[in-house]
Structure 1
Amino acid sequence: MDVKRAMAIYQDKSHNVDVKLEGQPVWIENVDEVNGMATVQVGSRPTNTQTVNVERLQEG
């Protein structure tokens, strides 16, 4: 995924976009456009977050 798409998903108020990190469902919590990084929540636990390169994220 590229930074522009990650930002669009992050800003989407419907929250109906399926995003995965290495096969695990994630929720985009923040996007750092300058550095191409995203903070994501892995699974359903709010405390399980990771900051990863947006290129590691997959849509659908």
Structure 2
Amino acid sequence: MDTQRAQEIIESPAMINVSYHGIPVYIKEVDANSGKARIFPLDEMENEQDVDVQGLTEG
């Protein structure tokens, strides 16, 4: 995924399924300059982490 698509998902009123290495996640924010996204697994909301946007997949 690229940073623009990740930002579109954040701004979308619809729930769009996203995963990081097979784990369903929520994208909290995206930093287009660094190519990083702040995410957390849907079942571990307290476990936020910064990851490469390219590791995110939609669907």
Pairwise same-fold verdict (TM > 0.5): yes
Deviation sequence 1:11-47 (CA, Å, 0-9, x none): 1122x10000010000001111111100001132221
Taking the aligned partners of 2:42 and 2:7, their CA distance within structure 1 comes to: 20
> 2:12 aligns to what?
12
Q: Which runs of 4+ in 1 moved over 6 A?
A: none
In the alignment, structure 2 segments of 5+ residues that lack a partner are none
TM-score after normalising by structure 2: 0.91
TM-score (norm 1): 0.89
Long gaps (5+) in structure 1:
none
Distance in 1, Cα, partners of 2:31 & 2:52? 9
